[in-house]
Amino acid sequence: MKIHVAKEILSANDAVAAENRAAFDEHGLLVLNLMASPGAGKTTLILATAQALGDGVRPGVIEGDLASRIDADTIAARGIPVTQINTGGSCHLDAPMIRTALPQLPLANLDLLFIENVGNLVCTAEFELGAHRAVVVASAPEGHDKPYKYPGMFARADAVVLNKADLLSVFDFDVDYFRRGIEMLNLNAPIFPLSSRTGEGMEAWVEWVKKQVEER
Amino acid sequence: MKIHVAKEILSANDAVAAENRAAFDEHGLLVLNLMASPGAGKTTLILATAQALGDGVRPGVIEGDLASRIDADTIAARGIPVTQINTGGSCHLDAPMIRTALPQLPLANLDLLFIENVGNLVCTAEFELGAHRAVVVASAPEGHDKPYKYPGMFARADAVVLNKADLLSVFDFDVDYFRRGIEMLNLNAPIFPLSSRTGEGMEAWVEWVKKQVEER
C-alpha cells in the first residue's frame, strides 16, 4: 500500500518534471539541480560560480529551504534573479514546487538556472525536477566516506563538487578514497575539488558549467 | 490519501517505539537518539563521550546508515558493543528497525545506549524510536543558520551539541546567532559547544549525559 502510493506520487512528479524541462528548453536555459548535506556550501558555490562565469552567462536561482529566506536574500543582494521556495516540513523539492516558482523568474533573460535543493543527502535524489544535470556538492568537513554511506545520491550525480577543499588536511580527508567511492558507483561523473571561499580549483568546475550551457 | 497512509505508518511506528522504550526501561538503560547532518561527527562524539564517561557507565551503540559498516567497525575496534542497521534507501531509522537490532546487543550489561541515526536533518526527527532523549549534533562547518533553516529538528531536541567548535573562527560561526535560533524554537534544550576531536568543551556535555543516566 505504502509502495503503491509512493509510486503514484513519483509518477505524477515525473509528469510535471517533464513539463518543467519543456519550459526550460523553450527558453534555451540550462538547469542544474544542486544537492548536498546541510551546510556544504551550495549558496557560496552558486555565488562564486556566477561571478567566475562573468557577463556572458546570465544566471538565476531557485532557493529551496524548509524555512527562512536567508539564502535568497544573500543572492538577491548580489543582483541575481532569485525566488525562494519554503517546503514547510518537506525534506526535498519536487517538480510541482518548481513549476509554481517559475513565473517568479525572468526565464527569457536567463542562460543558466541553479536550483538549490533542500540540504539532504538522501531524499532529494528521488525527485526529478526537470533539471538537465544533477550536481552533488560534498564538502571536506563531512569526511571522505560519504559516497560509501550515501550511495544513492552519488550514483545519480552528473558531476560532484568537493567544496571547502582548502581545508582537506584539517579534516584528514583522503581524496583518493572519496574518488574511489564515487567511481565504484558512477564512472561518468567528473569530480571537482575546489573552495568557493578562496577560489582555489574553481576553473575546471566553471569550464564544465560553461560547456553545459554552450551545449544547450 | 497520501496523508492518511503517512499517519497510519507513523502510528504503527509509535506503537513499536513504546515497546522499545519498555525494553530499555526493563534493563534500566538510558537511550540517546543522535541526529545530525551527514558528517557532523556523531561517531567521533560517541567515542569521545564513552571514553570520558569512564568505567562507571557501560555504553553500547546502534549504528544507522543507508549502507556500509564503516562506523560500526570503528566503534567495535574500541571494544564497545555495537550493531549496524543498514536502511537500504531509507532516510531515517524507525522503531521496527531498532526492535530488530536489540537482540544483537547485551542490553543487561549496558547503562547507556547511543542510537546513531542516519545523517539527515529533516526526516529523522519524524520517527520516534523509543529513546529517552533526542540529541541534535550540529557542527561548526555547517554554519550558524541551521536552526533557522531546519526548525523542526531543533524544536524537538532535548540537547544540542555544537561539534567541531575548535573551528568556529575558521567558519565565521556566530554562536550567539545560532543560540538565538534554537531558543526561538526551544527554550529547554541546553547547548554544548565542544570538539570531540580535541576534547575542548566536553566536560559540560559529559556531565549532562551522566546526569541523564543517573536519573534513570
Q: Mind listing the pLDDT tens digit of every residue in chain A (216 residues)?
A: 455 667 777 799 999 999 999 999 999 999 999 999 999 999 999 999 999 999 999 999 999 999 999 999 999 999 999 999 999 999 999 999 999 999 999 999 999 999 999 999 999 999 999 999 999 999 999 999 999 999 999 999 999 999 999 999 999 999 999 999 999 999 999 999 999 999 999 999 999 999 999 998
pLDDT in tens, A88-117: 999 999 999 999 999 999 999 999 999 999
**Which residue bears the cell 550515501?**
A150
Query: How many beta carbons lie within 10 A of that of residue B61, not counting itself?
Result: 27
Q: Kindly list the residues from chain A whose CB atom is less than 8 angstroms away from the CB atom of residue B10.
A: none
Cβ separation of B122 and A121 shorter than 8 Å? no
Cβ separation of A149 and B89 shorter than 8 Å? no
Alpha-carbon gap, residue B103 to B107, rounded angstroms: 8
Residue A165 DSSP code: G
Cell numbers that stand for B191 in this block:
547547548
Residue type, B89: G
pLDDT of residue A3: 58
Which residue segments constitute the domains of chain B, with CATH numbers given? Answer: 2-214 (3.40.50.300)
Q: Which of A73, A85, A94, A122 is the best substitution to test chain B (most B C-beta atoms within 10 A)?
A: A122
Q: Kindly list the residues from chain B whose CB atom is less than 8 angstroms away from the CB atom of residue A148.
A: 67-68, 70
Prediction pTM value? 0.95
Q: Kindly list the residues from chain A whose CB atom is less than 8 angstroms away from the CB atom of residue B139.
A: 39, 141
Residue segments in chain B with a per-residue pLDDT below the cut of 50 = 1
Angle between helices B2-26 and A2-26 (to 10 degrees): 130
Nearest by CB to residue A148, choosing from B67, B167, B170, is: B67
ipTM of this predicted structure: 0.93
pLDDT of residue B182: 98
Q: Which of these, A215, A166, A195, lies nearest to A205 by C-alpha position? A: A195
pLDDT of residue B1: 45
* Beta-strand pair A133-139/A159-163: parallel
